[in-house]
Structure 1
Amino acid sequence: MIKEAFLWILRLLVGGLFIFSGLIKVNDPVGTAIKLEEYFDVFSNDIAGFFYYLKPFALYIGVFLVVVEVVLGVMLILGVRSKLTVWALGLMILFFTFLTFYSAYFNKVTDCGCFGDAIKLTPWESFYKDIILLVMISFLFFFRESLPKSSPKWAKSIVGAVMIISFVLSITAIRNLPFIDFRAYKVGVNIPEAMQPSAPLLYSYVMKKDGETVTFDQYPTDESYEFVEMNLKNPENLPKISDFAVWNEDGDYSAEMFNGNKVVFLVSNMSKMNEDHLPEMDALVQNLNGSPVEVVFVGAATQEEINQLIASRNWGITGLQADATVVKTMIRANPGIMVLKNGVVLAKFHHNNTPEAGEVIDLFVP
């Protein structure tokens, strides 16, 4: 009886965590694909070159993994094909443990993306989390003969429904935008304010004198102390946005982006930019001409490429460069559209949902 209760608790904990983790990533499969591309880049340089050829398939692999995470979690809790489920979970957690250890030990990928952008873990925190999961799944594997050997028809139906729903949600998030935006540039964020500390940053100073190490809250005036290191005491107050920057051949344009009403076309990769809805973007630029709304193009590309695109579309707007990682963080679409009012994010649109000029202008009406 005690063993059955113990195994049931383990099934709930492990299954629940996989469902939670998977659903967060189902919400943003593009983010999962971006993280996989980071791993493939690292592995292609450090382990084997063939990983580089997996990058074009990162989105497909990401969707498969996130759906499998949710489905396996549900199967474990409901007792559907328990032995197969435990084997699959074991192999998956071994894979994840390897990824997080590699990231932590070699400091290669500083965020594993285990819980998307909803919960940020350091590489070592991610690794310890996976070790705990590995231990729990090991218990389930050891006692797999005591797990349910069959399951009712309704349980199998639920698993099938969960698989279909998870897949549909993933595709919907890809073709639109994440249902819930956990990133620093979500709607409602004041970008210039988010670029500042939320409170004064406090530091401690580790000093050395006569072979002894002493920590001070203020930098000591005694010059006989030798500086060792400085540590931030309240990292939670660091700016939520620290990497925003846009520029062109005339110089930095970052501050100007926060003045007035802006519609920003965002492109993270010019060669992979979807062109199906450029005519709608053409109409948006044309219909906003003469309005109190300025249209700006921001792309992770050379200035020449940006200028060529703007000229080819007859947009006649300002073109700016930006870092690809920043653009991908700002919006999960290529191209995407962000509406700003004095630096506050009013709305974000996938290129599949390009708004009309009237819809944009209405956003600025109090």
Structure 2
Amino acid sequence: VGFSVFMIVFEIALGIMLIIGARPKFTSWAFFLLVGFFTILTGFTYLTGYVPTEATFFEFSKWVPFQETNMKVTDCGCFGDFIKLQPRTSFFKDIVLLFPAFFFLWKPGKMHQLFSAFARGVIVVLGVVGLTLYCMSNYVWDLPHTDFRPFKEGVDVAERKALESEALDNVEILFYRMTNKTTGEVVELPYEQYLQEFKQYPKEEWTLEQIKTEPAIPQTKISDFEIQDIDGNDVTDDILLQEGYHFLIVAHKIPDEIELQTQTVYDTTFIVDTVMLTELDSIVYVKRVGDVSSTEVQVEKYLFPDYYTRRYSEVVNPVMEAAQAAGIPVLAVTSIADPAKIDDFRHATQSAYPFHLADDILLKTIIRSNPGIVLWKDGTVVKKWHYKQLPSFEQIEAAYLK
């Protein structure tokens, strides 16, 4: 996260310096190196669309016509979720930016300048400080100022997931693209023709790709919204279709350390005696303790940092306990799949609500806080809070539980 903030501040500050003409030589070199680096990066990403899965990037003889599915990265992160650029678009954007980069590098004195040198310096310093504080406020102290992610407040996740699933089921296969594993030959056949000739293209010799129509509704991370309970049972529908208000505590990561502790395990040996009962003329078996031995074994115990457990015991749990007392369901979801770790964490934080499991990337997409608190109603996201901005239950009840 720290590196991401640095790059954001650096790029915007560099843009300010270009606009006002601050420190022309430094700005020219910084602009050139930045654009040059991203040109190589986006160019590599775009060109991987020509590289089949069974070949490496530098096996040029095996390259095939461009296929978007060959790319490991399908969109550029230049503007985050605000504007998603395809690698090709981003690559050509960087190519265009190389022209002014070379020009400023060649003649930095031609860069126009606004204000005095002192004023330009003050603007840059204030800009860097202001941008740094703003970026930190968007993840250290609070949630991002504007949420461009699919799980933003007001979204009916249950409805959107159903629509995306239906749209994906309704896509049609247009044609099949086969690539010969030996020669690199590419053959494209319409769907109906492929069904008649598929035996001519055995999978041992050809890689197969289905080319389908685009879903009528674009797919988002909501399609990946899947949650399991601690036993691995799918509880996604139970959460999305739950009526009324409920809280979801999102923890994409639970930091921990493993400590080996010594425990004494006792092993008891029993002896069985026979006793003759003369009055009944029968034998009964009597078991008595013969020996008790002890063995010391090393067991793993999860320990959690105080700074993290306090987020629950002092901030989150008091609010959730009040919510549960008012009859509002509460559950937590994390990416940790170890039941022993979850059990230790629940005891360490005295968390009286169940923990479920989900993918960590999905959880980061839902909310940028660890933990983050999400208020739902009938499958819709009502409100999200960073744990440092979580109000009391009374305030939540007055503002949102209507």
Unpaired segments of 5 or more residues in structure 1?
Answer: 1-32, 34-58
Pairwise CA distance, 1:134: 2.3
Measure, in 2, the Cα distance between the counterparts of 1:236 and 1:95. 37
Residue in structure 2 matched with residue 220 of structure 1 by the alignment: 192
Measure, in 1, the Cα distance between the counterparts of 2:4 and 2:188. 48
Q: Secondary structure at the match of 2:131?
A: helix
User: Deviation digits for residues 189-210 of structure 1, max 9, x if unmatched?
Assistant: 11122223468454351269xx
Pairwise CA distance, 1:140: 3.0
Displaced runs of 4 or more, over 6 A: none
Pairwise CA distance, 1:80: 1.5
Equivalent position amino acid for 1:62 in 2:
S
Distance 1:222 1:154, change over 3 A: closer
Determine which of 325, 330, 345 is the counterpart of 1:295.
330
1:89 correspondence with 2:69: no
Distance 1:91 1:311, change over 3 A: same
Pairwise CA distance, 1:188: 0.9
Unpaired segments of 5 or more residues in structure 2?
Answer: 49-56, 58-70, 178-185, 202-207, 257-306
Measure, in 2, the Cα distance between the counterparts of 1:156 and 1:168. 18
Residue in structure 2 matched with residue 40 of structure 1 by the alignment: none
Q: Secondary structure at the match of 2:196?
A: coil
Measure, in 2, the Cα distance between the counterparts of 1:212 and 1:110. 24
Pairwise CA distance, 1:316: 2.2
Distance 1:256 1:166, change over 3 A: same
1:136 correspondence with 2:100: yes
Residue in structure 2 matched with residue 9 of structure 1 by the alignment: none
Higher-helix-fraction structure: 1
Residue in structure 1 matched with residue 268 of structure 2 by the alignment: none
The correspondence of residues 66-215 of structure 1 with structure 2, limited to 5 A, is: 66-104=8-46, 105=48, 107-148=71-112, 151-152=115-116, 153-174=118-139, 175-197=141-163, 200=167, 201-206=170-175, 213=188, 215=190
- On the 8 A contact 2:158/2:379 being kept in 1, the answer is yes
Measure, in 2, the Cα distance between the counterparts of 1:362 and 1:225. 67
- On the 8 A contact 2:174/2:213 being kept in 1, the answer is no
Pairwise CA distance, 1:349: 0.9
Pairwise CA distance, 1:281: 1.3
- On the 8 A contact 1:81/1:151 being kept in 2, the answer is no
Q: Secondary structure at the match of 1:114?
A: strand
Residue in structure 1 matched with residue 301 of structure 2 by the alignment: none
- On the 8 A contact 1:83/1:144 being kept in 2, the answer is yes
Measure, in 1, the Cα distance between the counterparts of 2:163 and 2:99. 39
Equivalent position amino acid for 2:368 in 1:
R
Equivalent position amino acid for 1:242 in 2:
S
Measure, in 1, the Cα distance between the counterparts of 2:96 and 2:366. 33
For these two proteins, the number of residue pairs brought into alignment is 304
Pairwise CA distance, 1:347: 0.9
User: Deviation digits for residues 266-289 of structure 1, max 9, x if unmatched?
Assistant: 111111783342212121122112
Equivalent position amino acid for 1:234 in 2:
E
Residue in structure 1 matched with residue 358 of structure 2 by the alignment: 322
Task: Please identify the structure whose Cα radius of gyration is greater.
Answer: 2
Pairwise CA distance, 1:222: 9.1
Distance 1:73 1:191, change over 3 A: same
Pairwise CA distance, 1:233: 3.2
Equivalent position amino acid for 2:320 in 1:
V
User: Deviation digits for residues 321-366 of structure 1, max 9, x if unmatched?
Assistant: 1111111111111111111111111111111112321233335434
Distance 1:212 1:244, change over 3 A: closer
Equivalent position amino acid for 2:249 in 1:
F
Measure, in 2, the Cα distance between the counterparts of 1:191 and 1:102. 35
Distance 1:266 1:237, change over 3 A: same
Equivalent position amino acid for 2:6 in 1:
F
User: Deviation digits for residues 77-103 of structure 1, max 9, x if unmatched?
Assistant: 111122221110111122222333344
Measure, in 2, the Cα distance between the counterparts of 1:119 and 1:184. 13
Q: TM-score if structure 1 supplies the norm length?
A: 0.74
Higher-strand-fraction structure: 2
Pairwise CA distance, 1:136: 3.4
- On the 8 A contact 1:113/1:120 being kept in 2, the answer is yes
- On the 8 A contact 1:207/1:225 being kept in 2, the answer is no
Measure, in 2, the Cα distance between the counterparts of 1:188 and 1:163. 33
Q: TM-score if structure 2 supplies the norm length?
A: 0.67
- On the 8 A contact 1:285/1:315 being kept in 2, the answer is no
Distance 1:134 1:346, change over 3 A: same
Equivalent position amino acid for 2:318 in 1:
A
Residue in structure 2 matched with residue 27 of structure 1 by the alignment: none
Deviates more, 1:268-277 or 1:178-187: 268-277
